[in-house]
Amino acid sequence: MTPVSNQSLIDTIIEDWGNEPQSQICISIVSYLHRRLENPPSHITYGILRRIIGNNYNESDFLLAIQYLCGARVKLLKPRFELIEDEEVFELSNDEVKLAQETGLLIHPETGEQIKSFDSKVFMYFEPESLVELVAN
């Protein structure tokens, strides 16, 4: 992958979103990740993203911006899932979560047992996908 400058990524965001709230949301997240290049976060929760942008934006604008940052155009964030049960954390693949949403059944990745009320135990988080490519400029 070709390195992408911080400014080039911001230019792309502005080109795509213009003066829409998503521009500022995305730029705030890009700036946060750029400041963290020395010690990049590997587990970015919804709450962390919300703290980065503050309460100035509504949920719909926020979710559209996050979806965009996960999309093919910028590929900055990669959505991941985890099951938290009895204070233990288990990684789940996107396919496992998709199947669980379609069927209403989630199978525990270690025990093979069906997990009841999995919606309250499965959490989405994000990994920076291309921070190595994000260079200063």
Calculate Rg over the CA atoms of the chain: 17
Domain-wise residue ranges, the chain = 4-77, 80-123
Q: What pLDDT sits at residue 6?
A: 79
Contact assessment for residue 94 and residue 79, using Cβ atoms and an 8 Å cutoff? yes
Contact assessment for residue 126 and residue 80, using Cβ atoms and an 8 Å cutoff? yes
pLDDT of 1 over the 60 cut: no
- Using one digit for the tens of pLDDT, what is the confidence trace for 14-47? 999 999 999 999 999 999 988 887 787 889 999 9
Instruction: Burial-class residue 25 by CB neighbours within 10 Å (0-12, 13-18, 19+).
Output: buried
Q: What pLDDT sits at residue 137?
A: 46
Residues forming a β-bridge with 14: none
Where do runs of H (alpha helix) occur along the chain? 6-17, 21-35, 46-53, 59-70, 94-103
pLDDT of 108 over the 60 cut: yes
- Using one digit for the tens of pLDDT, what is the confidence trace for 33-82? 888 877 878 899 999 999 999 888 999 999 999 999 999 888 899 999 99
